[in-house]
Chains A and B, each alone.
Chain A
Amino acid sequence: MNKVTFNVDRCKGCGLCVTVCPKKIISLSSTNLNQKGYHPAEITDMSKCIACAMCATMCPDTVIKVEKE
């Protein structure tokens, strides 16, 4: 499976990754807060990820690492 990992405590919950994901599998957590107090981005269904790295390309805080199977 392709793999997207977030450096959670660096996320500022800006949502830019959420809007560009072509598979719409990123959302801002409604339950978790990170160290900075933001609702961090998380993946809802990793199996749908196509490892296009659009999320990582738009992330201003270089939170995201993308690995292709």
Chain B
Amino acid sequence: MVVFDRPKALSDVPLHYCPGCTHGIVHRLVAEAIDDLGVVDKTVGIAPVGCSVFAYNYFECDMIEAAHGRAPAVATGVKRTNPDTVVFTYQGDGDLAAIGTAETVHACARGENLTIIFINNCIYGMTGGQMAPTSMPGQVTTTSPYGRDRKIQGSPIRVCEMLSTLDGVAYAERVSVDCPKNVLHAKKAIKKAFQNQIDKKGLSIIEVLSTCPSNWGKSPIESLEWLRNEMMPYYPLGVYKDIDAKEEDK
């Protein structure tokens, strides 16, 4: 009996990501969710600018490449004109929380019925390791060679916490892919974020704590440790908003 095999919605091609980069795990989880829900024929993915710019080559659903940071705006257009589609964006922290902050915040404020998969790896990966709004205090990057200084560059943005204050957000959860248990949980959260859209609940965002071994200057295994030891205390895992949970509490 096969207990684990490649999901069908994930194209059978090599990924271009660096060895041990957890972008690949998250791609697989998105594909598993699409398979589980049987929606590959009506799903439209919006790829960002960043290392996952080629995400359009990796999924068997329709894909569109958006300009840097504009994925939620493109997704809004697709979803509003084709309400029967299932639309997701896949965005890094430079894409979603720097150049695309306006698009992100306003898609959430409008309560667009979308699914956002947000990869927080504390850095701009594609362009060679510049500081992101999510880089950790003290983190050395090519644009913060002495470490991120909160007095000069401010504190990292906690995206889930910030967006969960907006009424249009139905579901916001931060997950991690640092170990098998957390990967399995991340899968559940991603699937729920897709299910919410099918059930017309509004915007769901899943923030995934992810690694960038190449630009962190660490091995893939050291990178998972850094994620656990440095990122997790500042970015606690958990559900920041869930309109379903609220109703149950009432």
> Interface on A for B, CB 8 Å cutoff?
10, 12-16, 19-20, 38, 51, 53-54, 56-62, 64-69
- A14 x B3 contact (CB < 8 A): no
A8–B182 Cα gap in the complex (Å)? 26
Contact of B15 among A15, A20, A61 (CB under 8 A): A61
**Could you pull out 12 A-B pairs where Cβ atoms are within 8 angstroms?**
A15-B221, A16-B20, A53-B4, A56-B4, A57-B4, A60-B22, A60-B28, A61-B24, A62-B6, A62-B24, A62-B28, A65-B6
Count contacts on B: residues with CB < 8 A to the other chain. Answer: 27
- B180 x A58 contact (CB < 8 A): yes
- B24 x A66 contact (CB < 8 A): no
User: A54-B180, A60-B15 in contact; A16/B220 too (CB < 8 A)?
Assistant: yes
Contact of A16 among B10, B23, B184, B224 (CB under 8 A): B224
- B3 x A62 contact (CB < 8 A): no
A69–B14 Cα gap in the complex (Å)? 29
- B10 x A62 contact (CB < 8 A): yes
- A15 x B220 contact (CB < 8 A): yes
- B221 x A16 contact (CB < 8 A): yes
- A38 to chain B: closest residue by CB: B19
Residues of A within 8 A of B119 (CB): none
Residues of A within 8 A of B20 (CB): 12, 14-16, 60
- A35 to chain B: closest residue by CB: B14
Residues of A within 8 A of B152 (CB): none
- A60 x B10 contact (CB < 8 A): no
A39 smallest CB distance to B (angstroms): 11
Residues of B within 8 A of A51 (CB): 3
